[in-house]
RNA sequence: GGCGGUGUAGCUCAGCCGGUUAGAGCGACGGUUUCAUAAGCCGUAGGUCCCCAGUUCAAGUCUGGGCACCGCCA
């Protein structure tokens, strides 16, 4: 049995439509999942929707729908989007599903039994319009900022998880296991959040049903439902099989979470302490990425910075969008999205460097070698250099992908593309072909190019799967991506069989033109 | 107000524990080639490494102060 490995996207809140931020998270997770699958690991990849809570209940009511109908409708839209974009998730989980409800109740019960939960009565200023207690930040001159009304003093009783008792443990964990939250900047932020005097305290994990009914009932008090974050976070474990599926712990402890920096606190503080309080094991790591700034074009303020992935896919092709996000964003830092820059990058990398290499190689193979992978002669210095470049690329891609550094991984991969282009120019097969005595050299050159393209396609498969599949198909080794093992098979040489038919085909990545907005 | 981050060529960024003339990719410009998606290849262009002070034989790289932007908290 191969080694388990799991990855989760954030559990997206059932609200609106996916934009570039969600798409980026999902694409990174998909790329990671595809790579680990190709590395022969037993991969589980989960994404899904967080469907409970006040906001969903309110939105449903505004639409004249039941919460069930509303959340089902929105969830379908999201799932359809991921399907259209070819995201290879293993499960699209919804927090309204029965197994999740069981998981939440079991975990809440475990905390209750462990004495981690306390019932407390408190008083605060409640805004009827907001349907929640306000903090100072929400008010101006004693009025709710949103509703400009005075909040009522109100008493309420709720269940609290004694979260602050676990801060020392968490700080200690982050010292001993610095890789638990990556990159390090976010680990430091979490340490700052739980430092003495930072203000973070215990976590309210319930809502009285009279105020909110759209939630999972607390197992020890039917008058209350779970606070939405407490409910939502547990989805990651539900998907791994908690509590009853045999062997869930193994998968769970190999599970890596991928999130945006906006939800660092729930994932970096709430989640590990909740698990610790319930006496449950932790996932393997938390990987935190930055946000996309939208650089060009006027973006309507009311719509916000909405980049609709389907619209981009329609205009430019999803794989180019995907390539751009993975190549352009330094993991952990903010990135800048602009269609103009995307077009520029994609043309330079995918069309000019890679697409053209494939195109010239296959064209010459067709013209000079009857359209089959030729029988190579002796390998010289330049051929050995390409072979070394492939081995280097395979090793570097592996290292960077495992560290979530997709940008550096693609950079390393394109060094192989460049090396191969330089190699062709050095050998000049279009000249050599005119000299009958150099026939063997031509065959060796084109064999080497095909072999390099095979490595490139394999390494590229997790990033742009469709294009990589097309490349392999044209090289006469369709479906190889499904059987190959990374990184070893991308570094392997002399694996192509002479005589295999190749197909020239159309441009793999036609050059893009910037589409003008209407 | 507190804590943290970021500030390096037009753009996006590398530069680890301080050490030869500060790097890469893209773009720009010039040359060359024709197998190829007006692609490839070769070369060039020159940036006060945010500012000031300090430590050091030596500082983008360490220390202190300042400025700008961002994040978290209050």
The residue ranges of every structural domain in chain A are: 4-328, 338-491
Checking each nucleotide's C1' against the CA of A417, the nearest proves to be B40
A184: which nucleotide lies closest, measuring CA to C1'? B5
The catalytic position among A130, A162, A209, A422 is: A130
A408 CA to B15 C1' distance (Å): 14
CA to C1' distance (Å), from A190 to B72: 9
Query: Is residue A413 exposed (0-12), middle (13-18) or buried (19+ Cβ within 10 Å)?
Result: buried
Assess whether A130 carries a catalytic annotation: yes
Q: What is residue A288's predicted lDDT score, i.e. its pLDDT?
A: 87
| Catalytic residue status for A147 | yes
Cα–Cα distance for residue pair A71/A100, rounded to 1 Å: 15
Q: Would the Cβ of A132 be found within 7 angstroms of any atom in strand B? A: no
Q: What is the CATH number that goes with domain A338-491?
A: 1.10.730.10
Q: Residue A518: its pLDDT value, please?
A: 42
CA-CA-CA-CA dihedral for A505, A507, A508, A514, to nearest 10: -160
For residue A123 the two structure tokens come to 């008083």
| ipTM associated with this complex | 0.86
Q: How far is the CA of A16 from the C1' of B20 (A)?
A: 57
Strands A117-127 and A152-161: antiparallel
> In tens digits, what is the pLDDT along chain A, a chain of 518 residues?
589 999 999 999 888 888 888 898 999 999 999 999 999 999 999 999 999 988 899 899 999 999 999 999 999 999 999 999 999 999 999 999 999 999 999 999 999 999 999 999 888 888 776 667 777 666 767 777 666 778 888 888 999 999 989 998 998 888 888 788 888 778 888 887 887 666 788 888 999 998 888 999 999 999 999 988 889 999 999 999 999 999 899 999 999 999 988 888 899 999 999 999 999 999 999 998 888 777 644 343 334 445 788 888 888 888 988 998 888 888 877 777 888 888 888 898 999 999 999 999 999 999 999 999 999 999 999 999 999 999 999 998 998 898 888 888 898 899 999 999 999 999 999 999 999 999 999 999 999 999 999 999 999 999 999 999 999 999 999 999 999 999 999 999 999 999 999 999 999 999 888 776 54
Which letter does DSSP use for residue A15 in this model? S
Residue pair A311/A19 in contact (Cβ under 8 Å)? The answer is: no
Mark residues 315-334 of chain A whose C-beta is closer than 7 A to nucleic acid strand B: 328, 330, 333-334
Q: Which fold has domain A4-328?
A: Rossmann fold (3.40.50)
As a rounded value in angstroms, the CA-to-C1' distance for A190 and B48 is 37
Alpha carbon distance A28, A471 (integer Å): 22
Among chain A residues 484 through 513, which have CB within 7 angstroms of nucleic chain B?
A: 507-511
Distance A348 CA to B30 C1' (A): 20
* A117 within 8 A of A105, measured Cβ to Cβ: no
Identify which of A466, A459, A479, A471 has the alpha carbon closest to the alpha carbon of residue A416. A459
Run of H or E residues at A368: helix A356-369
Phi, psi of A259 (to 5 degrees): -140, 165
Is A335 (CB) below 7 Å from strand B? yes
What does each C-alpha distance from A200 to A162, A184, A204 come to in angstroms? 11, 21, 12
The reply to whether A164 has its C-beta less than 7 Å from any atom of strand B is no
- pTM here is 0.93
Å separating the CA of residue A341 from the C1' of nucleotide B12: 10
* A263/B69 CA-to-C1' distance in Å: 22
- Concerning whether A287 is annotated as a catalytic residue, the answer is no
Active site annotation includes A144: yes
A221 closest CA partner among A211, A209, A204? A209
Catalytic residue among A36, A100, A101, A127: A127
Angstrom distance, A287 CA to B71 C1': 17
Let me know if A22 is a catalytic residue.
yes
Closest nucleotide C1' to the C-alpha of A428? B35
Which chain A residues 363-382 have CB under 7 A to strand B? 363-364, 367
The 3-class secondary structure across A242-301, one letter per residue, is: CCCCCCHHHHHHCEEEEEEHHHHHHHHHHHHHHHHHCCCCCCCEEEEECCEEECCCCCCC
Q: Give start and end residues of each alpha helix (H) in A16-129.
A: 20-38, 54-62, 67-84, 98-113
Residue A197: CB less than 7 A from any atom in strand B = no
Tell me which nucleotides of strand B come within 7 A of a protein CB.
2-6, 11-14, 24-27, 34-42, 70-74
Active-site residue among A52, A100, A101, A144? A144
Q: Residue A418, CB, less than 7 Å from strand B?
A: yes
């Amino acid at each position: 049995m191969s080694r388990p490995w799991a990855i989760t996207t954030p559990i997206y809140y059932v609200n609106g439509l996916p934009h570039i931020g969600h798409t980026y998270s999902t694409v990174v997770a998909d790329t990671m999942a595809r790579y680990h699958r190709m590395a022969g690991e037993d991969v589980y990849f989960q994404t899904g929707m967080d469907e409970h809570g006040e906001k969903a209940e309110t939105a449903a009511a505004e639409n004249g729908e039941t919460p069930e109908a509303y959340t089902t409708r929105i969830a379908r839209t999201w799932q359809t989007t991921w399907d259209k974009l070819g995201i290879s998730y293993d499960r699209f989980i919804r927090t309204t599903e029965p197994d999740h409800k069981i998981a939440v109740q079991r975990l809440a019960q475990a905390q209750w039994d462990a004495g981690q939960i306390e019932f407390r009565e408190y008083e605060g200023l409640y805004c009827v319009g907001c349907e929640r207690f306000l903090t100072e930040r929400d008010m101006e001159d004693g009025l709710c900022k949103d509703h400009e009304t005075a909040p009522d003093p109100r008493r309420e009783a709720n269940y609290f998880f004694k979260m602050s008792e676990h801060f020392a443990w968490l700080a200690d964990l982050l010292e001993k296991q610095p890789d638990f939250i990556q990159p390090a900047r976010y680990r430091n932020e979490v340490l700052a959040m739980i430092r003495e005097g930072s203000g973070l305290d215990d976590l309210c994990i319930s809502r009285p049903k009279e105020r909110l009914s759209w939630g999972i009932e607390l197992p020890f008090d039917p008058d209350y439902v779970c606070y939405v974050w407490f409910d939502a976070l547990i989805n990651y474990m539900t998907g791994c099989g908690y509590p009853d599926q045999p062997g869930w712990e193994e998968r769970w402890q190999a599970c890596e979470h991928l999130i945006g920096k906006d939800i660092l606190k729930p994932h970096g503080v709430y989640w590990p302490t909740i698990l610790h309080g319930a006496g449950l094991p932790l996932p393997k790591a938390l990987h935190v990425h930055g946000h996309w700034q939208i650089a060009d074009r006027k973006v309507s303020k009311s719509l916000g910075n909405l980049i609709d992935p389907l619209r981009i896919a329609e205009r430019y092709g999803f794989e180019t969008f995907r390539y751009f996000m993975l190549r352009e964003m330094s993991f952990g830092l903010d990135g800048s999205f602009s269609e103009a820059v995307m077009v520029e990058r994609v043309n330079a990398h995918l069309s000019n460097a890679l697409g053209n290499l494939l195109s010239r190689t296959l064209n010459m193979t067709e013209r000079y070698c009857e359209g089959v992978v030729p029988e190579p002669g002796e390998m010289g210095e330049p051929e050995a250099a390409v072979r070394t470049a492939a081995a280097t690329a395979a090793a570097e891609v592996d290292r960077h992908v495992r560290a979530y550094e997709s940008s550096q991984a693609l950079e390393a991969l394109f060094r192989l593309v460049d090396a191969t282009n330089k190699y062709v120019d050095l050998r000049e097969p279009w000249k050599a072909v005119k000299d009958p005595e150099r026939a063997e050299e031509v065959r060796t050159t084109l064999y080497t190019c095909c072999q390099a393209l095979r490595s490139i396609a394999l390494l590229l498969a997790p990033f742009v799967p469709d294009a990589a599949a097309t490349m392999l198909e044209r090289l006469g080794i369709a479906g190889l991506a499904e059987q190959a093992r990374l990184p070893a098979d991308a570094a392997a040489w002399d694996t192509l069989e002479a005589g295999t038919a190749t197909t020239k085909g159309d441009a793999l990545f036609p050059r893009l033109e910037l589409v003008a907005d209407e």
